[in-house]
Amino acid sequence: MKKYVLGMDGGGTKTHCSIFDLDGNLVDLVSWGTTNHECLSGSYDELKIELGKLFTYILTKNGIGTEDLGKCVFGLAGVDTKRQHEFISNMIRDLGIRDFTLCNDSYLGIKAGCEKGFGICAINGTAFSIGGIDSRGNMLQIGGLGEISGGDFGGGEYLAGKAIAAAYNSIFKGDPETLITELFFNMLDIKSKFDFVEALKGRIDDGTYKYDYFNRLVFEAANKNDEVAKGLLDNMGREYARCINAVIANLDFYRQEPVEVVMAGSIFVKGENSRAIDKIRQEVSLKNEDREISFKVLNSPPVAGAILWALEQNGSKKHDREKVLKAFEQ
């Protein structure tokens, strides 16, 4: 008899992997590094190595074999196409786990944050993605494919790039002045614009700062009413709203049922200025005046969605949603 479920939320920066028993009790929660093949130098080959290490570690640590696992759920950034899904599914089977659901990590936020298990989740973490599940179980992902999906105007790396471009274009190309430039100069301890590129690239190359660290300067400048920074957050919010509206239009959400929109990822959850979220609320509500739309920032880790989904798929009647969510607060 199967006794446990394994759930995973794998991203470009970090991964959470958890084991619960079928009664909804937490057995273990492990933090890991990158499990997005697009962020690993060895691509799929390195991903398989990382997944193998992770599965071996958490299962061995808890004395659990793959034969003790019921249906598992794995949400990974970088699972954007059928080909990627098939490739990574075969990889997981090769590692000894046979019964599982594999999906893009954006869907986990729906299971974690939407009471009925369907709705929309917008991910704004290292990268950008929006996933939707309607009440019939239809699933759709919008964004997350870079130029193929029209450019992903969100995520820590995107916002960091915009911060750097705003400073560079201001000091060299005549773009509007912005407080972001001053914040960069203070951070890099420079006084001349001619030292900007050298100092910035030096701090990135020597590991002092990761590239996406600079997104915080946009929030800091926006909090001080900087027009350029506010514009960047507005543009990001508009793009997320466009993608959320696309999910609503292309999935089968009944007119009489509320549509829950969950916002997840470090930029939404930890961002120090709500301007982008406010813009999303405004644009989505305006486009869907005949619908009831609710918005929330996801406070539970997305891996909780993987566990809830796995318990649901195993037909477990004994687990309690709030009990599972509270287990992740410990």
Tell me the one-letter amino acid at 239. Answer: E
Backbone angles phi, psi at 208, to 5 degrees: -60, -45
At 308 the pLDDT is 96
Distance CA 207, CA 158 (A): 19
Distance CA 85, CA 319 (A): 29
Mean pLDDT for 294-300 is 93
Longest CA span, the chain? 68
At 157 the pLDDT is 87
Distance CA 22, CA 34 (A): 28
pLDDT tens per residue across span 115-143: 889 999 998 987 788 999 999 999 999 97
Cα→Cα distances 4→20, 21, 28, 109, Å? 6, 4, 11, 21
Query: What contacts 211, CB < 8 A, 6 or more positions away?
Result: 157, 160, 161, 204
More confidently predicted of 157 and 203? 203
pTM above 0.85, yes or no: yes
pLDDT tens per residue across span 164-179: 999 999 999 999 999 9
The secondary structure of residue 175, as a DSSP letter, is P
On the question of pLDDT at 24 being above 60, the answer is yes
Share of the chain above pLDDT 90, in %: 78
274 in helix, strand or coil? coil
pLDDT tens per residue across span 33-46: 999 998 899 999 99
